[in-house]
């Protein structure tokens, strides 16, 4: 929600709360002096004399603390000044007095998301996480504003990801991506959620789920050929599939003997040649993100398994040239010499 839309919402809800204040006053028997101060404050607000209005509202609360509409109107004034934290506190006070005040809930949801997002920009991740979680537990939030209830699930998952709590992050991100109409209402967040889930499952060595979510991210962004995250996603899928390939090769090698040596080598070569997606994904990753060192390593190793020593040498030479300051550069040089020696012996 942009600032202009938020201000319009605040004004509408303020006007409604002013009307409702007249109705509720008879029920709770608020002292007349407090009501007069509230009316004076309302007039000052309409004239945009906000400081004067704030002072009059506070004077009214000194006489009668539990004035629901006054707390709500003070929240309105704080929100106009972008003081969202104080506005949020006043809205929670409003709801303590009347837990069924839907206007207070609507404004609370909007301001909480806006304030929490501002905390994220300040890198106050833990504080933002707490605000998101608190607003997600607001009574009736799903019925009141289902769209924002869904969005909050994403932000809780995102902040847990930033806090390096992958299990909690996955819990909320999966709730988010399986919500109704999420692809339509939040296309960018839906894309990012799949990417974050893919990263988390990659780190957990859960290849099936890693490939599932990374593939979904790639499908969403397939037209964006310059997206570096698309390159990283393709690299990670290639790495996952390369690990699967190595495991299959190990299983062949376990039963390899002198008698079936040639047959085993043929199986390994055939298996490697069938994994063209590894090569394609790594070439794409390097094109999009030419500083992705691990992609060169993986591609050089893949070509080595394919017995394509020329390409293996090519990418190990690139590793030595492009990443001369890498802590692994000496390892690259040693392996490069070994591949070159093997080529000469063929």
Cα atoms in the Cβ-side hemisphere of radius 13 Å centred on 183? 7
How far is 312 from 316, CA to CA, in rounded Å? 6
State the pLDDT at residue 3: 54
pLDDT by residue (tens digit) across 146-157?
888 899 999 999
- In this prediction, residue 125 has a pLDDT band, given cuts at 50, 70 and 90, of very high
Please provide the distance, in angstroms rounded to a whole number, between the alpha carbons at the two ends of the chain. 66
How far is 321 from 294, CA to CA, in rounded Å? 14
Contact 143, 174 (CB under 8 A): no
Query: How does DSSP classify residue 258?
Result: S
How far is C-alpha 206 from the geometric centre of its chain's CA atoms?
20
What mean pLDDT is predicted for residues 61-81?
Answer: 93
Least confident of 13-27, 208-222, 263-277: 13-27
Instruction: Identify the three-state secondary structure at position 261.
Output: helix
- In this prediction, residue 304 has a pLDDT band, given cuts at 50, 70 and 90, of very high
Residue where the block lists tokens 């995250």 = 229
How far is 101 from 46, CA to CA, in rounded Å? 23
Q: What is the 3-state secondary structure (H, E, C) of 47-83?
A: CCCHHHHHHHHHHHHHHCCCCHHHHHHHHHHHHHCCC
State the pLDDT at residue 23: 38
Least confident of 17-31, 52-66, 230-244, 247-261: 17-31
pLDDT by residue (tens digit) across 11-63?
544 544 544 443 344 445 789 999 999 999 999 999 999 999 999 999 999 99
Share of the chain above pLDDT 70, in %: 92
What mean pLDDT is predicted for residues 7-13?
Answer: 50
How far is 86 from 77, CA to CA, in rounded Å? 10
Contact 9, 114 (CB under 8 A): no
pTM of the model: 0.82
Contact 230, 221 (CB under 8 A): yes
Residue from 116, 73, 71 nearest 96 by CA: 71
Burial class (CB in 10 A: 0-12, 13-18, 19+), 80: middle
How far is 307 from 309, CA to CA, in rounded Å? 6
State the pLDDT at residue 280: 96
Query: How does DSSP classify residue 179?
Result: S
How far is 309 from 295, CA to CA, in rounded Å? 17
What mean pLDDT is predicted for residues 59-87?
Answer: 93
- In the chain, what are the domains? 228-345 (1.25.40.10)
State the pLDDT at residue 48: 93
What mean pLDDT is predicted for residues 167-173?
Answer: 97
Decide if pLDDT at 341 tops 90.
yes
The two tokens of residue 276 are 């063209």
State the pLDDT at residue 29: 79
The two tokens of residue 135 are 């607003």
How far is 187 from 174, CA to CA, in rounded Å? 15
Longest CA span, the chain: 103
Q: What is the mean pLDDT of the chain?
A: 90
Answer with the residue of higher pLDDT: 17 or 64: 64
Residue 115 phi/psi, 5-degree rounding, is: -70, -45
């Amino acid at each position: 929600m942009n600032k202009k839309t938020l201000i319009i919402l605040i004004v509408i809800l303020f006007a409604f709360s002013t009307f409702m204040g007249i109705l509720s006053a008879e029920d709770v028997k608020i002292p007349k002096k407090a009501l007069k101060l509230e009316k004076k404050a309302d007039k000052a607000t309409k004239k945009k004399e906000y400081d004067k209005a704030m002072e009059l509202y506070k004077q009214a609360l000194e006489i009668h603390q539990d004035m629901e509409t006054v707390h709500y109107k003070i929240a309105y004034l704080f929100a106009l000044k972008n003081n969202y934290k104080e506005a949020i506190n006043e809205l929670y006070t409003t709801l303590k007095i009347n837990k069924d005040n839907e206007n207070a809930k609507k404004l609370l949801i909007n301001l909480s998301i806006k304030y929490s997002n501002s905390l994220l920009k300040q890198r106050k991740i833990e504080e933002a996480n707490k605000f998101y979680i608190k607003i997600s537990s607001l009574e009736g939030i799903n019925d009141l504003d289902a769209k924002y209830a869904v969005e909050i699930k994403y932000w809780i998952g995102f902040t847990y990801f930033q806090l390096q709590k992958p299990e909690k992050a996955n819990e909320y991100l999966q709730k988010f991506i399986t919500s109704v109409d999420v692809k339509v209402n939040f296309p960018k967040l839906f894309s990012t959620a799949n990417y974050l889930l893919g990263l988390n499952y990659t780190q957990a060595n859960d290849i099936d789920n890693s490939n599932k979510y990374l593939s979904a991210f790639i499908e969403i962004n397939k037209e964006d050929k310059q997206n570096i995250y698309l390159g990283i996603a393709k690299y990670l899928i290639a790495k996952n599939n390369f690990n699967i390939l190595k495991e299959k090769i190990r299983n062949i090698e376990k039963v390899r003997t002198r008698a079936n040596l040639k047959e085993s080598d043929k199986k390994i070569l055939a298996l490697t040649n069938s994994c063209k997606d590894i090569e394609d994904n790594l070439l794409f990753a390097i094109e999009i993100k030419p500083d992705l060192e691990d992609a060169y390593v993986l591609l050089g190793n893949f070509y080595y398994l394919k017995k394509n020593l020329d390409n293996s040498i090519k990418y190990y030479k690139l590793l030595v040239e492009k990443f001369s300051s890498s802590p692994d550069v000496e390892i690259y040089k040693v392996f490069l010499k070994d591949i070159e020696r093997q080529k000469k012996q063929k």
